[in-house]
Amino acid sequence: MAIISIVGKLQEGKSYALNHFIRYLKSGGKDDWHQQKLSAGEIIPSSDGPDPVTLGVNIWSEPFFYMHKKEEVAVLLLDCQGFYDMTLDTEKSAAIFALSSLLSSVLIYNVTTKLDMEVLEKVREFSKYAALVSSTTDAQAGVKTALTFLVRDFKRTKHYSLGFHNSKEPAANIDKPRNYFHHIFPSPDAGGENVTLKALQACFNDIGIFVMPPLGDAFERDPDTNEPELEFQNRLQEMVEYSLSHLVTKQLGSEQITGKTFQTYVIMLAQLCQNRKFPDYPTIQRETASLRNQLALAKALDVFKSEFVNIPEQTFFSEEDFKNKYQPSYNVALQVYNANKSLGTKDEDVYIKNLKLECRKYFDARMVENGNKLNKRASDLAFNTFKEQFANITESFCETKFKNKFFKASGKLL
Ligand SMILES: Nc1nc2c(ncn2[C@@H]2O[C@H](COP(=O)(O)OP(=O)(O)OP(=O)(O)O)[C@@H](O)[C@H]2O)c(=O)[nH]1
Ligand SMILES: [Mg+2]
């Protein structure tokens, strides 16, 4: 699964941009995808009116299936209420940002005209939430949330080209000599260590800035009868296509999130916010770690079970041999748990105890099954031997003699 979310101040075109993702994903990326006309129910409400439209944190109810790196990914879109509208104080704006960071695998931060220190500081402060769900070990690196700053109505096009800027592109060229990313995050050779960038990179992958032109006067004057300028339309398409071709899937620890685990995760976060107050960071940290451990435990148990599920029906183990299978299978399961667990949780013993208990419970049931299989085979063999005693009889017996034969043969069965 991939979850693309957009945050930023109110009424700055967030839902408008997300609707372009819907167009692309609905059309399956056809050449003219951006021209698709969608009815009101098929797109996220967006308005040029004076009042805020999007309220709360909304997950668009339709998952879109998209081929990414030869794998089908379910893409969800998450639209958020704008920060600092009349009903959102700083605390609630912070809660929206934190939730969006926790839930998404691609986070778009929408700003107007320029990227400034105020925004960077805010993102830096909340990056700890994005980091909570991504892995912290080197072995699991590469699974962090992608972060794109989407700059609307950019004015400084004399110095910076429109489109995507990151640490590598655009490379310096003669026409547009400057890279906006390096302007915001000066490289070490241009003035020492960049502390903000370093802090962000610890929590996000693929930090980039997408620079957009204005909509154009005609559209701004009368959006009902005019289209945005072609340059705007082209860049918005480019942004959508770029984001999808660099899609990042959502992971919880080293685990790829599925629809089912995402649902568990959303419910967990919703329950934490139940008293209408956003939980403090240590609570989210603890609960997320606990969820990660539960997933690690479920994965370990699956691996343990698979050791037994794969035993062919015709394979028979003696009771002793079957008992000997327990320890190596448990060791593999424990390794899987350790590789996937959340680091540094205090109640680790509880999970390991649980794993042992569940493995033992499953093993005992399989052991009984193996015993039944052995008994059935023994009784089948014995019955076949019994039948053989009678199958090849050619002579005739008197009733008593035949009965005696029966008792003799069935006695052998016991
Ligand atoms: N200036 C400007 N306006 C834009 C841009 N993109 C869309 N808009 C317009 O901004 C207005 C609000 O668009 P929405 O998509 O509803 O904005 P939003 O940020 O989702 O708004 P809320 O949900 O109310 O916070 C609409 O009139 C859009 O046409 C842009 O790049 N620049
Ligand atoms: Mg909106």
Q: What is the pLDDT of residues 106-142, one digit of tens each?
A: 999 999 999 998 899 888 888 888 777 765 544 444 4
- Ligand 1, atom 9: closest residue by C-alpha: 13
The pLDDT of residue 414 is 57
- Helices then strands, counting H and E runs in the chain, come out as 13, 10
Per DSSP, the three-state class of 390 is: helix
174 pLDDT tier (thresholds 50, 70, 90): low
320 alpha carbon – ligand 2 mean position (Å): 65
Residue 285 burial by CB count (10 A; 0-12/13-18/19+): exposed, middle or buried? middle
pLDDT tens-place string over residues 180-234: 998 898 877 766 677 888 888 888 888 999 999 999 999 888 888 888 999 999 9
Q: So where are the chain's domains?
A: 2-269, 280-414
Q: What is the largest CA-CA distance in the chain?
A: 115
Euclidean distance between CA atoms 401 and 220, whole angstroms: 109
Euclidean distance between CA atoms 83 and 89, whole angstroms: 8
Structure tokens at 280: 């403090």
- Closest-lying ligand 1 atom to the alpha carbon of residue 12: 19
Do 225 and 268 form a contact (C-beta atoms < 8 A)?
no
125 alpha carbon – ligand 1 mean position (Å): 26
Euclidean distance between CA atoms 75 and 25, whole angstroms: 9
With b for 16 or more beta-carbon neighbours within 10 A and e for fewer, the 310-342 pattern comes to ebeeeeebeeeebeebbeebbeebbebbeebbb
Lowest mean pLDDT among 58-62, 137-141, 316-320: 137-141
pLDDT tens-place string over residues 342-376: 776 677 789 999 999 999 999 999 999 889 989 99
Q: What amino acid is encoded at 28 in this protein?
A: G
Report yes or no on whether pTM surpasses 0.85. no
- Ligand 1, atom 13: closest residue by C-alpha: 13
- Closest-lying ligand 1 atom to the alpha carbon of residue 55: 23
Pocket, ligand 1, Cβ cutoff 6 A: 10-16, 46-48, 52-54, 82, 152-153, 212, 215, 223
Do 147 and 208 form a contact (C-beta atoms < 8 A)?
yes
11 alpha carbon – ligand 2 mean position (Å): 7
Which has the closest alpha carbon to 102: 198, 10, 5, 18?
A: 5
Q: Residues 6 or more apart from 243 whose CB is under 8 A from it?
A: 4, 21, 106, 108, 148
Euclidean distance between CA atoms 226 and 398, whole angstroms: 108
46 alpha carbon – ligand 2 mean position (Å): 5
18 alpha carbon – ligand 2 mean position (Å): 9
Q: Residues 6 or more apart from 317 whose CB is under 8 A from it?
A: 311, 325, 370
Among the bound ligands, the one closest to the CA of 52: 1
Give CATH superfamily name and number for 2-269. Answer: P-loop containing nucleotide triphosphate hydrolases (3.40.50.300)
196 alpha carbon – ligand 2 mean position (Å): 28
Residue matched to tokens 């085979």:
377
Among the bound ligands, the one closest to the CA of 48: 1
- Closest-lying ligand 1 atom to the alpha carbon of residue 236: 31
Structure tokens at 216: 């154009």
Structure tokens at 1: 């699964």
